[in-house]
Amino acid sequence: MEQDTPEGDRIAKVLARVGIASRREAERMIEAGRVAVNGKRIDSPALNVTAKDRIEVDGQPIAEAEPPRLWLYHKPSGLVTTEKDEKGRPTVFDALPEDMPRVMSVGRLDLNSEGLLLLTNDGAIKRRLELPSTGWLRKYRVRIKGTPSDETLAPLRAGITVEGERFQPMEVSLDRQQGANAWLTVGIREGRNREIRRAMEAVGLVVNRLIRVGYGPFRLADLKPGEVEEVRSRVLRDQLGLDHDFQPATPPRPKRTVRKAGPPKRR
């Protein structure tokens, strides 16, 4: 006997959609007892909710979901990409303009890295942009100490294992030598924790500046440090293959080729 599918969406998905947290982080909040539905605290994300349900986080009702939005942000060096830092260091979110809504970062840039950081108000968009299966190339301008040769860079282009962690092949080109330093352009598709810095160290190179200049189709261009620029909704939908409701667009079915029957063959 078939069971009826519950109405609505999973509670963690709803929390992510209104920008409370990513879906995974929302699940942890639920398990910690911070979320209540219709006045009752819940401890499991296995619950579907609809627009009729009253949802609260830490005793405060959540806002209605806004349309998904995406911003390009030029992160300066010296900021951490977390909402709160246990060491009290300044964060990306402390530095954003006051009129910005609640947003989440797409991936991270470490404390000493700078450049393009994507921000969104929608957890589903965040997850979609971060998935390795998206296959988007992240491009960086990297300044290193030393005089690298093609032989030095070859392991990076072939794929390298660092402390038991396998990094996919990188796109690496030498742009120019500038005194004791060299500038490289590096492209990666996964963006693991400190991937470029660790990979460079493994071949004897030390990174002293790292600037992300591209994330898939999005570019840093002439955005100045600390500046924010919103991506147009149409561009966001087109780049992610979404329809006007920001749902995955259904690709058109290929047309069937109907051949007309010829005259019957004579025997």
Active site residues: 110
Given the structure tokens 């030390």, which residue do they identify?
A: 206
Which of 46, 45, 2, 3 lies closest to 21 in space, CA to CA? 45
* Cβ 242 vs Cβ 248: under 8 Å: yes
Contact (CB, 8 A) for 23 and 11: no
Beta carbons of 156 and 213 less than 8 angstroms apart: no
How many angstroms from the chain centroid is the CA of residue 107?
Answer: 5
Nearest C-alpha neighbor of 236 from the set 227, 226, 246: 246
Pairing status of strand 206-215 against strand 114-120: parallel
SS (HEC) of 34-89: CEEECCEECCCCCCEECCCCCEEECCEECCCCCCCCEEEEEECCCCECCCCCCCCC
Q: Any residues with CB less than 8 A from the CB of 103 and at least 6 apart, and which?
A: 19, 71, 93, 96, 119, 120, 121
**What is the distance between the alpha carbons of residues 177 and 179, in angstroms, rounded to a whole number?**
6
